[in-house]
Structure 1
Amino acid sequence: MITLFVLLSIGMNLADNEEIIWRIQFCFRILEQYYWLINAYTLDFFSCDHWSKLPWSWQKFLPSVGPVELSRWIESGEQSNEENATFESPSEEITSAAQQHKDLLNIFRKHVKSKKQHEIFRIGKVCTLCASATSCHNVLDIGSGVGHLARFLHYGLNFTVACLEAESEFNSSAERFDMDLKIAVENMGKTPRRPPLHVVCRLTSNTDIETLHKMTYPVFDGGFGIIGLHTCGDLVPYMLRYFAASEKIRYLVSAGCCYMKMTSDCLGTNNPGYPVSDFVGNFKGVPLEYESREVACHALEMYLKRLNDNEVEKLKIHCYRAALECILVSIDPSLKRSGLRSVKNAHCMPFNSYAMEAVKKMDINLDKKELQSVETLKRLSRWQEVYKFYTIRLMLAPVIETVILLDRLLFLKERGFRATILPLFDPVLSARNLTIVAMKL
């Protein structure tokens, strides 16, 4: 069983601020060297001639490297998940036949996919430890969605829960699912608790801590923990600032995602989502722009599976999209990097069929001759160069994510809080598996 001591010591074993700062500086040295690469779009591979920008030795060597070897390059730099030995492995948690979590009651598995079951069970364990250590079983779930985590904490683990969610449709679904659970409990001959409080609220940089207290007061008059499961964009930075500003917030458990949706100081934003720490805010490292923060959100483990399982043909889609980009820009430069329709099993289709499907909902007439021109066919023949370029870029994704997460951890450490980064989820099931945990003991 995972203990409080283990919780605060596993993960990134960073004893002091100096070590965190050293790691951040080291990451920045890498990112500075490959700054153009982390900000390059793969769809611009042909239009911006990305291959020619790689070092000459890379251009000569990469064509001889197969997909399995590429996967080994990525795996050699991946984090170890030995720390997760304190939990059962996902194969032991999730039944192979029904793909259901064996330790969750059926009422908490209803409407919930196995990935989410895995996540809410594990984050629930961490919340229980934090609550025990701080004698606080009140929880505010920020970005609560349809309330799967909130219901598990509230009914399954006996927390008192309030939820903040920006989308009213999600809140309506959460309340409907709460009612389903209430009926199920009554059918078992038991009296259900009052459901969690659901509040529709879109947090902004102007939402102060007093506003947060007023929204939670009907549920808990006193201390509470603040949690977020894959909260998007700036929500994690908001949570960090709330935690630091309020004595009432006793602990924080936060797994973030969608880094590209954060505000950034490179846009001149006040109180940006990145950076949050004093050190990174004053450090003259390379800025993390939208493109680099977007690549940090990719699911490396799923990509490794494609490289290893003879599914490399599926990666032709990157070449298809890059070749189509050239055609679209030649028609109208304003079509650059347009959002196109997703085409299922595109790698099984001829390029011209893919192109027609991709622009189906756009007011564009593609020239069929251009789709089969000598220049287009020449580009399509280079599909392996495109996916290898994509892979090289993806190898830098963990470096970018490390900077973002260490910046958040350092924010807490600079203010004297006990905090750690915990590899809480299995990365194959949940790509953004690193969770920040902090407590006021």
Structure 2
Amino acid sequence: MFTPTVSSEQRRELATRLTSFLSHYKHLTDSYIIEFFTQDLWHTLPVSWQPALQNLSYPQVAELLLEPAHGDRRYPSVWPLSLLAFRATAHALAFPRGCRQERRTRPEEFTENRSQSSLLGHIFRKHVKPKKQHEIRRLGMLVKRLCDQTECSRVVDVGSGQGHLTRFLSFGLGLSVTAIEADGSLVAMATRFDEQLLWVLEKEKQKKNPSSELAVSQFSPRHVTGWVNPKASWEVFIEQLSSVHGVCDGPPWGSKHQAFQPWVPRSPSRRDTRSQEQASAGSTESCCPCDRPVLHESAHSGDRCPDFVLTGLHACGDLSATLLRHFVKCPHVCGITSVGCCYMKITTKENPTPPGLVAPPAPATPGPESVQAEFGYPMSSWVQGLPGHNLSYKAREGACHAVEDYIQRLREESELLKTHCYRATLETFIRDTRPDLRRAGVQTIKKAHLLPFTEYCRLGLARVGLSPELPLDPERVEALLKQQGRVVVYFSLALLLAPVVETLMLLDRMIYLQENGVESQLVPLFDPNFSPRNFVLVALKPR
């Protein structure tokens, strides 16, 4: 089912081309759009590019820069070959993100109701936003396929949040799930939602024939409160999952509820026949540990830790890299689905602690319990050895932007496009008053695009500790705001490189797996118009 489509040599060659290309355009990926005026970013572009780009309409920016090539293009002027090559290379090097359809921002499953997926049962839609409904259904079905292929019915969901994916895997697809989440309040919420779903399922069961073959045994997911330390070993991770003290007040894994059907209305699903037979016969011979209160048996029990599949939906920062390392090193993890997120929070050798984050505490005693000098990027030895492989915090932050969403704004010539120019103009007045105050955190000003600049500026100055009554030169303000088109074009050039940066980081993870004897595939599983971080890294260990 999941077979490699390119050779290891091809992946290494692509990584080499990516690092070479990105290092050449580092001035774009590392630039801050709020410094457009203070750093005169427009004039850092090649001189031949400037006249070709400065008079583009917003729909033209979308079509000629950000959209992949399709059919004939109508250029308002002759573009230099270097600009054409830049655009073509950026699109060619980035992994295809899936279908981009014009004038559509939601998948077809939301055609009838914008807030409810027609493919997901109503019990899994409660408390769940449309984007998450789309994600948990698609990822859940993929995880189930991995479980079927590996003959393993156990899943560990890391960074489970409110447990939406966990519930679908457990109650919807009949898998035995342990969920681990660092935020105790989210764990408590997940447990409460589990109880609500159980009540609904019991009502559903009463409407059906008790002797129907659709009724099978099922168990609640197990929730563990805990932070997955990226510097800890897989043995520590297993013990963390096994910790009885980490379980919230929900029903433990060993608690059996009345029989009910794994319920996926409107969407057919395959059942694990072997698991059903064992469940009906009361067998505990399989890898399902429902009759045991902990995941990991002690060393004195004689039993090994049962195998399981790891999954992480938008695991933030280093968490995705940590899960991949546990997958490679832990003999009990037979498969993984990994969806990354928040690339700027990934640690690197140059920046071991990203801005605004506190470095995690190092293990008290180095040794088998700890992993030393391992960062979120690069993971592979190959990429680490390539010249120019370094990715700055800004480059990784840019890779998290929603390209499709910005394309839609350009097509619609949205008022939201003025926000970057507003912030860049505000930065000039901040620097005039406080030259030492660089890239101050103004944060989001609500509905900024609907405000006149003077009001926006007043609110922004107050947020950085400056007088809101700072006098503004009206002519200068007008001259800067007139350059909004240039600001949009420059931001679009940098945004064109965002998928290229993401490709390099994901490719690095695939090469890391290859170096450890595991093949993988990158699947654009989610609709990119709906879920910008739509790639799922899928891997199974060789038998």
Same fold (TM over 0.5): yes
Q: Name 2:19's counterpart in structure 1.
A: 28
Q: In the TM superposition, what are the counterparts of 1:241-256 in structure 2 within 5 Å?
A: 241-256=325-340
Conserved in 1, the CA contact under 8 Å of 2:430 and 2:461?
Answer: no
Q: Secondary structure at the match of 1:56?
A: coil
Question: Among 297, 300, 306, which residue is 2:400 paired with?
Answer: 297
How far 1:359 sits from its partner (Å)? Answer: 4.2
How far 1:91 sits from its partner (Å)? Answer: 3.7
C-alpha distance in structure 2 between counterparts of 1:155 and 1:335, whole Å: 53
Q: Name 2:357's counterpart in structure 1.
A: none
1:141-172 CA distance string (max 9 Å, x none): 11111100000001100111111111112111
Structure of larger gyration radius? 2
Conserved in 2, the CA contact under 8 Å of 1:318 and 1:386?
Answer: yes
1:206 equivalent to 2:248? Answer no
Question: Among 134, 137, 150, which residue is 1:121 paired with?
Answer: 137
More displaced stretch, 181-190 vs 119-128: 181-190
How far 1:58 sits from its partner (Å)? Answer: 1.3
1:386-439 CA distance string (max 9 Å, x none): 111101111111110110000001110111112110111010010011110000
C-alpha distance in structure 2 between counterparts of 1:196 and 1:172, whole Å: 13
Q: Name 1:8's counterpart in structure 2.
A: 3
Q: RMSD of aligned C-alpha atoms? A: 2.1
C-alpha distance in structure 2 between counterparts of 1:176 and 1:394, whole Å: 41
Q: Secondary structure at the match of 1:316?
A: helix
| Compared CA separation, residues 417 and 400, structure 1 to 2 (3 A) | same
How far 1:280 sits from its partner (Å)? Answer: 0.9
Amino acid at match of 2:37: F
Conserved in 2, the CA contact under 8 Å of 1:83 and 1:423?
Answer: no
Conserved in 2, the CA contact under 8 Å of 1:234 and 1:261?
Answer: yes
C-alpha distance in structure 2 between counterparts of 1:67 and 1:8, whole Å: 41
How far 1:67 sits from its partner (Å)? Answer: 1.6
Conserved in 2, the CA contact under 8 Å of 1:154 and 1:161?
Answer: yes
1:376 equivalent to 2:509? Answer no
Unmatched 5+ residue regions in structure 1? none
C-alpha distance in structure 1 between counterparts of 2:391 and 2:10, whole Å: 21
What number of residue pairs does the alignment pair up? 426
1:46 equivalent to 2:148? Answer no
Q: Name 2:255's counterpart in structure 1.
A: none
C-alpha distance in structure 1 between counterparts of 2:114 and 2:408, whole Å: 22
Q: Name 2:498's counterpart in structure 1.
A: 397
More displaced stretch, 64-73 vs 406-415: 64-73
More displaced stretch, 354-363 vs 301-310: 354-363
Q: Secondary structure at the match of 1:335?
A: coil
Conserved in 1, the CA contact under 8 Å of 2:176 and 2:219?
Answer: no
Give me the TM-score of the superposition, normalised by structure 1. Answer: 0.91
| Compared CA separation, residues 8 and 124, structure 1 to 2 (3 A) | farther
Amino-acid identity (%): 35
C-alpha distance in structure 1 between counterparts of 2:194 and 2:310, whole Å: 21
How far 1:361 sits from its partner (Å)? Answer: 4.4
1:28-56 CA distance string (max 9 Å, x none): 12111111111000001111111111111
Tell me which stretches of 4 or more aligned residues in structure 1 moved more than 6 Å. Answer: none
Question: Among 103, 121, 144, which residue is 1:105 paired with?
Answer: 121
C-alpha distance in structure 1 between counterparts of 2:378 and 2:495, whole Å: 22
Amino acid at match of 2:492: T
How far 1:98 sits from its partner (Å)? Answer: 4.6
| Compared CA separation, residues 39 and 82, structure 1 to 2 (3 A) | closer
C-alpha distance in structure 1 between counterparts of 2:129 and 2:3, whole Å: 29
Q: Secondary structure at the match of 1:250?
A: strand
Q: In the TM superposition, what are the counterparts of 1:277-426 in structure 2 within 5 Å?
A: 277-311=380-414, 313-370=415-472, 372-426=473-527
Amino acid at match of 1:397: A
Amino acid at match of 2:240: M
Q: Name 1:94's counterpart in structure 2.
A: 110
Conserved in 2, the CA contact under 8 Å of 1:341 and 1:357?
Answer: no
Conserved in 1, the CA contact under 8 Å of 2:169 and 2:175?
Answer: yes
Q: Name 1:229's counterpart in structure 2.
A: 313
| Compared CA separation, residues 81 and 267, structure 1 to 2 (3 A) | closer
Q: Name 1:133's counterpart in structure 2.
A: 149
1:257 equivalent to 2:341? Answer yes
Q: Secondary structure at the match of 1:369?
A: coil
Q: Name 1:156's counterpart in structure 2.
A: 172
| Compared CA separation, residues 53 and 278, structure 1 to 2 (3 A) | same
Q: Secondary structure at the match of 2:54?
A: helix
Amino acid at match of 2:532: A
Q: Secondary structure at the match of 2:523?
A: strand
Conserved in 1, the CA contact under 8 Å of 2:174 and 2:218?
Answer: no
| Compared CA separation, residues 202 and 359, structure 1 to 2 (3 A) | farther
| Compared CA separation, residues 286 and 82, structure 1 to 2 (3 A) | closer
| Compared CA separation, residues 62 and 83, structure 1 to 2 (3 A) | closer
Q: Secondary structure at the match of 2:67?
A: helix
Conserved in 2, the CA contact under 8 Å of 1:142 and 1:228?
Answer: yes
More displaced stretch, 168-177 vs 328-337: 328-337
Q: Secondary structure at the match of 2:48?
A: helix
Q: Name 2:62's counterpart in structure 1.
A: 71
More helix by share: 1
How far 1:129 sits from its partner (Å)? Answer: 1.1
Amino acid at match of 1:251: G
More displaced stretch, 330-339 vs 52-61: 330-339
More displaced stretch, 193-202 vs 25-34: 193-202
Conserved in 2, the CA contact under 8 Å of 1:131 and 1:137?
Answer: yes
How far 1:334 sits from its partner (Å)? Answer: 4.3
Unmatched 5+ residue regions in structure 2? 69-90, 207-214, 243-293, 297-304, 354-372
Q: Secondary structure at the match of 1:267?
A: coil
C-alpha distance in structure 2 between counterparts of 1:153 and 1:215, whole Å: 21
How far 1:79 sits from its partner (Å)? Answer: 5.4
Question: Among 182, 198, 212, which residue is 2:198 paired with?
Answer: 182
C-alpha distance in structure 2 between counterparts of 1:277 and 1:159, whole Å: 32
